[in-house]
């Protein structure tokens, strides 16, 4: 049974298949929730992780499994890859509720910023906070890409596939794959620049 058939069986209300789904993908979803929280500098408290975890599974079941039914295995996208993006998006949304994004240069009522409060002899602390902020902004920019562009990044960055390998997934020429890569990078750079950062590839 392939991923699409399995997802359809789960969304049709087959209890055994749904139990298998939960057992098979719970750890993956949990892992990416923790990853997003950690990259955003959030405390990994069990309550927040559990709430996000439950929200994700509820969203998959809601309205007669409407969200799970939206999985179509397009361009060879596995169910695990699709759920990874679902988990990351949900964790980002939840983290925004927990911790509104604050720039280290943003001043309070007294004219002080987080940057001012960091000791001058601790550049590592400043760099760490700055890196966490950059990571959240980059994740936010990736979140704004199309599903196909996110899938391209999944193959290229996470799986480490070459452009020659990737062209088979998109069933296109090497030239079109190169153009897609350039377009994605340009979009991310523009998005990152609009948030006050420089993105180096």
Decide if 171 contacts 120 (C-beta within 8 A).
no
Name beta bridge partners: 107.
Answer: 113
When pLDDT is cut at 50, 70 and 90, the band that residue 89 belongs to is confident
Residue 45 has pLDDT above 90, yes or no: no
Which domains, from first to last, does the chain contain?
1-100 (1.10.1740.10), 124-201 (1.10.10.10)
Mean pLDDT of the chain: 76
Higher pLDDT, 132 or 6: 6
Q: What residues contact residue 26 under an 8 Å CB cut-off, 6+ apart? A: 53
When pLDDT is cut at 50, 70 and 90, the band that residue 94 belongs to is confident
The residue to which tokens 């975890």 are assigned: 53
When pLDDT is cut at 50, 70 and 90, the band that residue 166 belongs to is confident
CA angle 168, 190, 138 (to 5 degrees): 75
Residue 151 has pLDDT above 90, yes or no: no
This prediction has a pTM of: 0.50
φ and ψ at residue 99, rounded to 5 degrees: -145, 95
Token pair in block for residue 150: 């996110």
């Amino acid at each position: 049974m392939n991923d699409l058939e399995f997802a359809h069986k789960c969304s049709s209300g087959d209890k055994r298949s749904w139990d298998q789904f939960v057992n098979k993908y719970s750890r993956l979803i949990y892992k990416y929730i923790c990853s997003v929280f950690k990259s955003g500098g959030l405390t990994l408290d069990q309550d927040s992780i559990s709430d996000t975890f439950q929200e994700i599974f509820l969203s998959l079941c809601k309205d007669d499994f409407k969200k799970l039914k939206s999985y179509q295995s397009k361009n060879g996208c596995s169910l695990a890859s699709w759920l990874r993006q679902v988990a990351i998006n949900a964790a980002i949304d939840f983290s925004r509720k927990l911790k509104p994004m604050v720039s280290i240069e943003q001043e309070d009522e007294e004219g002080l910023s987080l940057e001012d409060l960091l000791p001058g002899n601790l550049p590592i602390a400043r760099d760490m906070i700055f890196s966490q902020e950059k990571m959240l902004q980059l994740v936010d920019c990736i979140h704004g890409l199309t599903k196909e562009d996110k899938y391209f990044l999944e193959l290229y960055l996470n799986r480490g596939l070459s452009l020659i390998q990737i062209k088979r997934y998109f069933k296109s020429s090497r030239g079109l794959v190169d153009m897609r890569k350039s377009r994605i990078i340009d979009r991310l750079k523009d998005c990152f620049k609009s948030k006050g950062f420089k993105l180096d590839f």
